[in-house]
A and B are shown apart, each in its own frame.
Chain A
């Protein structure tokens, strides 16, 4: 398989997971949340400073349909993660002169 096809495949699977399959994900508290609630670790927990942000809790504010709201949020997350991660990767590679792994 060509590298490009593998990359496209990974992107499509990610969009499918974040945009569609995520709707069917378990809504139960995760391991840390459950343990924290059960044993009182969360007594001093604070609300998130950005709880009112447009994408808080993986939903798009103003979109009523939960399937659409969560799916759109997931797709936005995929896009932002791709841009940010690619930027960080590019920065590490081109920070000091041309890239090389030959000297390793």
Chain B
């Protein structure tokens, strides 16, 4: 879902940049409350895992592929603020090092793929876990929904200042349709990853810790 330069006009790029900068500033402030000596190293590796998994485009219908966005996955594992920072780092590396995602579109891409995914996916995963849906399933469903949310966030910015005049209904239907399919892949990868880590070290997973009455110390 990496937008190149030129999909939205300059004012919209700047607006998205302001949204992204504000979001990252909040995350930088709040992330430290999520991290301790045991989970801080995990956060770096969650960013690495998201980067690596994003390289694995999987086919969906009709000559289209999708890849993990990873916002919900990262938020479940290391916390929403830290998770959004992890995905933002990945997007920065991709744009600067690999020419993937436009430089002027970086704010837009952080807004859709790092902020929107976490804002939608993390509260949803938390809610599903609270109503006793198992952690991996909760995470997977939330991650899938967050992909559709991210695609709608893109549509929102396109509506504000797209450089082309495509009917919004058309854009919305097409984006939601294909990203519902990609969301299934996102959900499966997220559920498998969270499930694997939960099977070995459930105490390290942020969402488990945040819902536990007392932190589990091992």
Residues of A within 8 A of B (CB): 1, 3, 6-7, 10-11, 13-18, 21-22, 25-32, 34-36, 38-51, 53, 55-58, 73-74, 76-78, 80-82, 84-86, 88-93, 95, 99, 101, 104
A51 CA to B41 CA, complexed, in Å: 33
Do A88 and B48 form a contact, CB below 8 Å, given A21-B56, A29-B65, A99-B32?
no
Question: Chain B interface: which size bin?
Answer: 35 or more
Q: Beyond A39-B171, A89-B40, is A104–B33 a contact (Cβ under 8 Å)?
A: yes
Q: Is B36 an interface residue (CB 8 A)?
A: yes
A40 vs B3: C-alpha distance in the bound complex, in angstroms? 14
The contact of B85 among A50, A78, A89, A104, by CB within 8 Å, is: A89
A-side contacts of B35, CB under 8 Å = 89, 92-93, 99, 101
- 19 further contact pairs, Cβ within 8 A, besides A27-B65, A38-B174, A53-B99: A6-B204, A7-B42, A11-B48, A13-B52, A16-B52, A18-B52, A25-B57, A26-B57, A31-B181, A32-B3, A41-B158, A42-B164, A45-B6, A49-B103, A58-B100, A80-B97, A82-B47, A99-B35, A99-B37
Q: List 11 A-B contacts (CB under 8 A).
A: A13-B49, A17-B52, A17-B55, A25-B67, A30-B65, A41-B158, A41-B171, A50-B96, A51-B99, A77-B51, A89-B82
Instruction: Please report whether the interface of chain A is mostly helix, strand, loop or mixed according to DSSP.
Output: helix
Q: Do B154 and A32 touch (CB < 8 A)? A: yes
Interface residues of B (CB under 8 A from A): 1-7, 28-29, 31-38, 40-49, 51-53, 55-60, 62-67, 82, 85-86, 89-90, 92-94, 96-100, 102-103, 151, 154, 158, 162-164, 166, 170-171, 174-175, 178-179, 181-182, 197, 200-201, 204
Docked-complex contact B55 and A40, CB < 8 angstroms: no
Whether A26 lies near B52 (C-beta < 8 A) is no
From B3, B47, B162, name the one whose CB has the most chain A CB atoms within 10 angstroms.
B47
